[in-house]
């Protein structure tokens, strides 16, 4: 594989891992399935990861076409995506990132009898707005180079595989990290995501002004 494709793969992998946050998602999954058997949790984890992979992969491939049909340029998408990701990152750093951070919200998320594989586990916990936006931006950077596009899709596959591994070990991860560990990990990932968001927005602004 060409060096540029390897760079694309690792850049996409890091970006997706930061956004998806497999250990944090596993901690949420453990809180949402306290009464499930190991077999039930494994089944839901596998189906959720299949759904998330399909959503991210398809959105990456078709997202740019959808934007074009709506008259939305890639520079605008990059700037908007950067802003949205920065808001998500700010929530993570402040410790208010969805159901991951507060006991009342976690308790509210604990399921009773419904199947959570598609919603909310597959979408939006694994394949959320941040991941979808990132996929569009990554594919736009590929510039139609199918080797790079395949590298991005491979990064999605590796991210989802690591997420599945974390989900299957959700109970162990939740116990190992604890409340403090989960909080610290979420904040560190938030800082990295904030830097990535700023870079994406700056790239969009640079492209927009270069076209004027």
Q: Smallest Cα–Cα separation from 147: which of 157, 139, 136, 159?
A: 139
Task: Give the confidence band of 82 by pLDDT, cuts at 50, 70, 90.
Answer: confident
Q: What is the pTM of this model?
A: 0.73
Task: Give the confidence band of 2 by pLDDT, cuts at 50, 70, 90.
Answer: low
Predicted confidence at residue 150, as pLDDT, reads 94
Number of domains in the chain: 1
Predicted confidence at residue 99, as pLDDT, reads 41
Predicted confidence at residue 212, as pLDDT, reads 67
- Mean pLDDT in residue range 75-89: 79
Predicted confidence at residue 96, as pLDDT, reads 61
Q: In sequence order, what are the residues at sequence separation of 6 or more whose Cβ sits closer than 8 angstroms to the Cβ of residue 48?
A: 116, 117, 118, 121, 122, 125, 126, 167
The proportion of the chain whose per-residue pLDDT surpasses 70, expressed as a percent, equals 87
Q: In sequence order, what are the residues at sequence separation of 6 or more whose Cβ sits closer than 8 angstroms to the Cβ of residue 75?
A: 204, 205, 207, 208, 211
Domain limits at 98?
3-210
Predicted confidence at residue 3, as pLDDT, reads 67
Q: Smallest Cα–Cα separation from 54: which of 139, 135, 143, 148?
A: 135
């Amino acid at each position: 594989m060409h060096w540029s494709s390897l760079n694309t793969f690792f850049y996409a992998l890091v970006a997706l891992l930061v956004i998806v946050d497999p250990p944090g998602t596993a901690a949420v999954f453990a809180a949402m399935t306290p009464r499930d058997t190991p077999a039930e949790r494994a089944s839901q984890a596998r189906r959720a990861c299949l759904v998330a992979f399909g959503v991210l992969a398809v959105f990456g491939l078709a997202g740019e076409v959808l934007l074009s049909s709506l008259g939305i340029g890639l520079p605008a998408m990059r700037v908007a995506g950067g802003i949205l990701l920065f808001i998500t990152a700010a929530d993570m750093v402040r410790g208010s990132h969805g159901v991951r951070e507060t006991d009342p919200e976690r308790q509210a998320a604990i399921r009773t009898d419904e199947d959570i594989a598609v919603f909310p586990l597959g979408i939006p916990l694994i394949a959320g707005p941040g991941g979808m936006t990132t996929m569009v931006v990554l594919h736009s950077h590929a510039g139609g180079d199918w080797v790079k596009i395949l590298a991005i899709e491979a990064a999605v596959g590796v991210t989802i595989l690591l997420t599945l591994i974390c989900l299957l070990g959700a109970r162990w991860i939740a116990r190992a990290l604890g409340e403090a560990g989960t909080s610290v990990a979420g904040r560190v990932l938030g800082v990295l995501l904030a830097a990535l968001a700023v870079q994406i927005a700056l790239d969009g602004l640079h492209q927009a002004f270069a076209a004027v």
